[in-house]
Structure 1
């Protein structure tokens, strides 16, 4: 019996005689729905697989060595100043609170054996601090941070319980802003028994898009931010309001303060570092930090013992690939070596057994 063309397309008639066609779940008889489209499937042979392994190995190993050597040439010095050890200079500061005044000051003396030739980046580091927690990440008001007047006096409910304080809206609101890092660093070089302060800049430490697009002060009297924020109050754990974050630069206050912007970009991992300042190399004939003795003065405000955290100060140079990170170079070398080793093993197997398989296919 001949098949009706509608049956071939997946549509069946209800039976004898005319009548409405009964819908079927069978897909239409098309190349796409019946999976008859042209396809390409690689045929893995010794002639295609072996060269691929060797090429990957030859390319990846030199790249990995170059990245690893570059990373090792980056100068870095790290100081853990948490102060849990009773012999630590910061041990007496452990009970300092978020908004303690005056701050407890501890001093760390250290030695740099090698010169830091280029610009030096000063970071602070925290451990066991989960900035990636879902509720913590949501606890902010981006409209308020972008200078919206309505959000300034009526923050988002996402900021709760750091939305209102003393019947006034908090600016900036939310758990991220409330937990902002507030230790202060001063760095000195010890020359002939005297301490000479090394100055660093706070400008340019935040992303350009954050500084110029995402964070803006509310419209108003730019020269008098106190008046602009008069109907708000500071976050609970802050020592001073947002318009006094930088006493030395009026253009670095309010929501556009770069320390604040850096903190508000949450970290993905519980152990992280954030940029605190930049020591610029002003004279090409001299290193940014020469070998010698140095002293770090820390105004200890930020408590970490409640969450078993640690605090660090890091001095580091950078290269074309960023900061010190040997992992990427090791990963390239490992993958390249494995591919090259597998290529050699497969080449030996092919040389030993390949001809035997070909001869077995030849009929007598």
Structure 2
């Protein structure tokens, strides 16, 4: 039997070179500097960082505690406790493209929103996801007792969100001259919402995905007890703050908290250069600065104790 024919490559054909280019970068000939860390360098750095953070923390904590929750200008917050917005699966349960006004994502939400991406009729949910579905939706009204007559205090819902969120991150979808209601046709509202997204407000610049209550809610909080800005009191007869007297809060209870054993509060507060009353940042600086200082003291004690032995060994 005749053996099968085989093809052979030319043994004299040069193989491609695997050697990197002869440059200073590829051959690792660039000049380098490696710091020699010693106690005389590390200890002052730790002391400086620790004391600096302690000083900043004291300033932040003092500024937060000096905020008076009654004078002008007055901001109304709602506070929720035992609500973990920082849970990873909860935080990613949204469609960034949909919230930025992408028409395709409006009708085809991301799987990250599952199981809040479509309803029982398989209609796409807009806005989709667990974050949007759990949006705070109590309606809060404030009244002032003016000589026996309760006068409604005007509450301003504009300008309560971050400028970058309202003007850049969140956008309503557009499609020619179609109205927002027509664009949302074929989609469903989130399960726990009382109305569709395009009907959140009669103001065309404060509805849909650019509704400021919605935008504020979508910025997840870091701690299980948090406050979110609800309204500003800065118009009418209350531009100088809330005068002394009797007030009445009327709340339309739409947002249940028993399911996660939480609590709701309404807080009136002023702000300082660092924002509203929030001692967390000051405490964080104090803790980090104190740890740096303690470690610096420990390293100083160890250095003094063993310095003589090190010198003898040398």
| 1:139 aligns to 2:93 (yes or no) | yes
Mapped to 2, the partners of 1:231 and 1:52 lie a distance apart of 60
Structure richer in strand, relative to its length: 1
Paired residues in the alignment total 271
* Compared CA separation, residues 38 and 153, structure 1 to 2 (3 A): closer
Q: CA deviation at 1:131?
A: 1.5
TM-score normalized by structure 2?
0.73
TM-score normalized by structure 1?
0.64
Aligned 8 A contact 2:234 2:240 in 1: no
C-alpha distance after superposition, 1:257-292 (max 9, x if no partner): 1111111111222111111111126789x7311222
Q: CA deviation at 1:187?
A: 0.9
C-alpha distance after superposition, 1:75-128 (max 9, x if no partner): 12xxxxxxxxxxxxxxxxxxxxxxxxxxxxxxxxxxxxxx503x2121111111
Mapped to 2, the partners of 1:230 and 1:175 lie a distance apart of 21
Match of 2:68 among 61, 67, 75: 75
SS in 1 for 2:205: helix
C-alpha distance after superposition, 1:15-56 (max 9, x if no partner): xxxxxxxxxxxxxxxxx99xx9754333449xx969996997
* Compared CA separation, residues 181 and 62, structure 1 to 2 (3 A): closer
**Hey, what does 1:199 align to over in structure 2?**
154
- Structure number with larger C-alpha Rg: 1
Q: CA deviation at 1:211?
A: 1.2
What runs of 5+ residues in structure 2 fail to find an aligned partner? 1-27
Where does 1:1-364 land on structure 2 (aligned, <5 Å)?
A: 39-44=35-40, 66-76=59-69, 115-117=70-72, 119-165=73-119, 166-220=121-175, 224-247=179-202, 249-280=203-234, 287-326=240-279, 329=282
Aligned 8 A contact 1:221 1:227 in 2: no
Mapped to 1, the partners of 2:45 and 2:259 lie a distance apart of 56
What runs of 5+ residues in structure 1 fail to find an aligned partner? 1-31, 77-114, 351-356
Q: CA deviation at 1:317?
A: 0.6
